[in-house]
Amino acid sequence: MSTLKVTNIQATGETASRAVSGVAAAWVNFDATGTPSSRDSVNFSSITDNAAGDFTLNWSNNMSDANYSVTGTTKSFSTSSTSTCAIGIKESTLPSAASVTMTTNRTSSTSTVESNINFAVAHGDLA
């Protein structure tokens, strides 16, 4: 059996390559409290603070289109059994090739909240 060792992966037609250690098209670990900031990331350029618990994640290299998959998670709030927090895509602002707008919400209410521990991962083709 042969072993193939590579440093970067680039799909046919993509202009940006991905490091083997970060096979996802993009990911970010960030703090969304106060002025949002990234702790670490791959193919991530910045966070736009739209409002409390409402932010846009901007990619360094665009996706080929808006038909990619993005998932996210955020820290639970332990104030009560129904006060966990969820991260989701805003219905009014669908993903684009350059960014995705997300919110962090308490499951016990409809209000958005800021969390200091958040993660997002995007899988799809790069432009």
The one-digit pLDDT tens for each residue of the chain (127 residues) are 788 777 777 767 666 666 654 578 999 999 988 899 999 999 999 999 999 888 899 999 999 899 988 888 888 765 554 445 566 777 777 889 999 988 887 766 667 888 888 999 998 888 8
Does 14 reside within a domain?
A: no
Domain-embedded: residue 108:
yes
Give the helix, strand, coil percentages of the chain, each rounded to 5.
0, 45, 50
Domain assignment present for 62:
yes
Partners of 102 in the β-ladder: 55, 89
- Model's pTM, two decimal places? 0.78
| Domain region containing 88 | 24-123
Residue 38 lies in a domain: yes
Q: Quote the number of domains for the chain.
A: 1
Which residue type does 125 have?
A: D
4 in any annotated domain: no
In a domain, 70, yes or no: yes
